Chains A and B, each alone.
Chain A
Amino acid sequence: MVKLSRRTILRGALNGAAVGVALPLLDCFLDGNGQALASGAPIPVRFGTWFWGLGVTEDRWKPTKIGADYDLPLELQPIAPYKDKISILSGFDVILDGKPNLPHNSGGIAIRSGVAPSTPTLPAPSFDVLIADKIGGQTRFRSLEISATRDATNSLSGRGEGSLNPAETSPINFYNRLFGAEFVDPNSADFKPNPQIMARRSVLSAVADQRKALEARVGARDRERLDQYFTALRQTEQQLALQLEKPAPLEACRIPAKPADTTPPNYQIEHVIENHKTMAQLLAMALACNQTRVFNLNFNNGASSLTKAGSTISHHQLTHEEQIDAKLGYQPESTWFVERCMEAFGVFVDTLGQFKEGDGTLLDNTLVVAHSETNFAKTHSVEGIPIMLAGRAGGKVKTGLHVAGGSTPATRLGLTVQQVMGVPVDAWGEGGLHTNKPISEIMV
């Protein structure tokens, strides 16, 4: 059940253009953190992750200067135009506590769930799910997951215990899901509750009524799985309920054109870049139209299967098999892929920055966590996993900084972003990954 926020008046936060307004009743769940437009419609703060596989070449990526106006080594240069909107986090370690390092799995799973895994599965909820529990219940989709390599299992988001939020793989399906028949245009003048949605809701309520009888018949392990089923059902039902209310108008929301025919489902980097661009556009529009407030976009997979047209060897194979060039001091072919990943992140940041919202942009009202699953892929190292933050979360974080973690647990990232997004948590992670120290350098 929705609780009234302590602050029932929104605080005008930025540049004086925003004004304090009384929350409309429907918006009392907005957590009181948002900026409000002069029209009275609050601008939601969004949260998302952006994943790339196979890390970086530390010497060519990690800035030497700590703090503001950090330097841009070669692999970071693609983000140069957005440097003031991006923070770099280096030196944050995944601590395995003697558990085996599962290549290309341990790092990403531990960062997301706060637990070093024993098998390549999420042992606990990923922080994006915990954040969605806090801010995702008031939109049509609790969260959206996307794989630019078009692989539904390319996802690090889930509730743990074997549950994984599968990724959207096709731009056309993604478009239909977002802007198909059931999309309610927030800027449309006439609103009538859709009777189909009312009917759907009653169908789901009916199934929910079976919960008790079924749960009485299962063992503990299956009860957990049944709970996950009914949680999913309840979420869908709540989201349907939202669609029966007239949405607030949103200036940045425009219904996009249906994307062109999709790229072939392969790992050729040219196709993945193209697919990522299309998906990023659709996602940004979904955010601008308040269809979701949480997302997880995966540019490539851990153990990146990306290939270059005509090459017989994948990014992943290269990181292991390519010699470190004696003269250059790095792996020239592997670093090429890292640069493409950084470019893609630049494209994503740029896309969010294109949507005007209030006196800023969609990016200003979003917090994006970008990370990989390893630092140096050649040795699968999980110390100093590269992390970037973009966007200001509606003014709650500082950007344009390089923060050195000094070998502290990488779970500080998860703790920090949960706190920024309003999750009431003061410590997070298990064993050596337990921490109660958020990354205060980036918090306003």
Chain B
Amino acid sequence: MSSPHGRRRTAASLAIAGVLAGLLGCSTPRDVAGPNLVAAAQAPGRITAMRRLTEAQYRNAIADIFGTDVKVGGRFDPIVRPEHELIATGAAESTISPAGFEQFDSMARTIAAQVLDEQRRGAFLTCQPADATQADPACARSFFQQIGLYVFRRPLTAAELDFYVDVAGRGAEPTRDFYKGVELGLASMLVSPQFLYQLETAADDGRQIDSWSKASRLSFLIWNSVPDRMLLTAAARGELDTEKGVQAQVARMLASPKAEEGVRAFFTDFLHLDRVSNLSKDTVVYNRFTPAAAADLKEQMLLTVVDHVLTQDKPYPELFTTRKTFLNRRLGLMYQTPVAKAEGWEPHELPANDERAGILGQGAFLALFSHEGRSSPTLRGRAIREVLLCQPVPNPPANVDFSGFNDTSNAVLKTSRQRLDRHNTDPVCASCHKITDPLGLPLERFDGVGAFRTTENGAPIDASGAFEGKSFDGAAALGYLMSQSKGPTDCLAKRVAEYSTGLTEDKLPKGWLEELGQRFEAGGFKYRALLEKVALSPEFFALPEVAEPAAKVAALSSPATPTQGIR
């Protein structure tokens, strides 16, 4: 989803030609393109990780390289979230299926055709072919040298360059069109594993990833996109091998408007907002809940998060208590709050004593972890444990008998709490439900789409709960207690470490998480500072352990029922 404050650029303003001249130089190479680049253009080393680009990364890469007006149309093979993990770590295990490849192929061709069409080609080609009806190896070479740097996130090797020049030549001949030939070469580049995967390679010293891989790791972490000219230049100059060099780049990148895309990408993964596009509600029960409203809920959450952690640079724990959010007309209707602006979003501040506060009061969280036709204290409690506190909850035994849990039309057991209490008389059920329910029941004053209510089926709702030994009433109180706990901050630090490296906790360098947790605290729990600390840790660029992980990617369960079998 594009952000309201997001980047908007055209191919012309991108002016790759000018941008590139400084780095590689079509005709007049400057010193930045000097010996480092040439040396690095030798065959890259051992591949230590293959992280498939996510849909957002692919789209951002195309927009950054070719301009936001180049359309990307197609269906992406989903990268499935491994159980209790991030999609980012799933990406490091993800494969491309035949049907998925077919789509990548079709997208590559449409993108290449747009880039080389008559309107756009001038922005990307710094030379004119001697004869437009024939191959022109020199001109094609300059194109692939420049574009290849961005597409593969490193300079092409001499062999690769020869190869694409050859493809373009073979394409130009039968079509009698130089540009068609270049287009075919570009399409070929865009379906290459070197574009579709973030390939991380070992540096010569065998202890770290190489400079180009470092540049990609930084840019996908902070921008969720490909490195820009300055970052690649820093890589070419060896600046990413020094703390000072990395620090300068990280500061520059965090100050860029593109950092918003990075924050959005991390929190989408962290908070499972990827599932919002598959979220559906019973339209008879929740007649205002449409796919558009679902998209709004996700945007509301992301606007709130971006404003809090990036724009205002406030401590992460306060994201559990903040009364600040954003509303548009459609959500205003759902939450019975007047919204002045007919179009777009406006900041909104809830009253200080409101039941709704922070992440736990966001419609996206409340609706995502509910059933289609009603709320679910168990799904919500489980999400708080697993998503926000990084504490996996066991699945119920396969032969569990739910028959004690009566249906919602029961005349006596009107509220979820009453029904769950009945169900919890079974000690087998109770052992897990006592982990989840005391955190989910306090949110019961919000229904299955997150609208406020005080009763369920005519009976008043009891929103009492307990967290870390403290009893309380309602969602706002739970948010406050979570803001005072180390659980959520340790969990966030761990997730950022996993997200940035594509490695699960067991493969991260020993002791790194503890250290990050301490440094996060010392820095006042600021997300920006956490990103800096991650990027500046020696562990960030360290090569992963060589152990081969077991395959655990394409979970076959439906994303609409992530916690199958648990109520």
Contacts and interface: CB of A to CB of B under 8 A. Distances in A.
Interface of A: 100-106, 108-109, 119-123, 142-143, 145, 149, 151-156, 158-166, 168, 173, 195, 198-200, 202-204, 206-207, 209-210, 213-214, 217-222, 225-226, 228-229, 231-233, 235-236, 264-268, 301-303, 305, 307, 309-314, 316-317, 320-324, 378-381
Given A199-B171, A214-B193, A120 B282 contact: no
A317 B567 contact: yes
Contact of B564 (A104, A145, A265, A266): A104
B558 A154 contact: yes
B557 A303 contact: yes
A266 B557 contact: no
Given A206-B188, A268-B282, A301-B561, A164 B171 contact: no
Interface residues of B, number: 85
B557 A323 contact: no
B303 interface: no
Given A106-B398, A121-B552, A321-B403, 14 more contacts: A123-B551, A159-B97, A160-B551, A166-B75, A166-B100, A232-B98, A305-B372, A309-B283, A311-B373, A313-B407, A320-B400, A321-B405, A378-B403, A379-B401
A143 to B, nearest CB: 8
A264 B291 contact: yes
B319 to A, nearest CB: 30
A312 B285 contact: yes
Interface string B35-50: 0000000011111111
Interface centre among B75, B396, B401 (most CB of A within 10 A): B75
Given A203-B188, A305-B561, A229 B170 contact: no
Interface of B: 43-50, 75, 77-78, 80, 83, 93-102, 105, 108-109, 159, 163, 167, 170-171, 174-175, 180, 184-185, 187-188, 191-194, 196, 201, 278, 280-285, 291, 371-374, 395-396, 398-403, 405-408, 546, 548-549, 551-561, 564-565, 567
A321 B407 contact: yes
B191 A204 contact: yes
A120 B556 CA distance: 6
The interface residues of chain B, by DSSP majority, are classed as: loop
Contacts of B281: 266
B89 to A, nearest CB: 12
A217 B46 contact: yes
Contacts of B291: 264-265
Given A153-B556, A221-B548, A236-B105, A316 B403 contact: no
A187 to B, nearest CB: 24
Given A206-B167, A210-B192, A321-B407, A100 B398 contact: yes
B558 A165 contact: no
Nearest to A298: B558
A310 B191 CA distance: 46
A121 B402 contact: no
Nearest to B566: A103
A99 to B, nearest CB: 11
B283 A266 contact: yes
B402 A151 contact: no
A380 B399 contact: yes
A167 B530 CA distance: 39
30 contacts: A101-B398, A103-B396, A151-B560, A153-B78, A154-B558, A161-B551, A162-B93, A164-B556, A166-B77, A166-B97, A203-B187, A203-B188, A204-B188, A206-B188, A213-B159, A217-B44, A219-B47, A219-B546, A226-B50, A232-B101, A232-B102, A236-B105, A268-B283, A302-B564, A303-B561, A310-B285, A311-B284, A320-B402, A320-B405, A380-B399
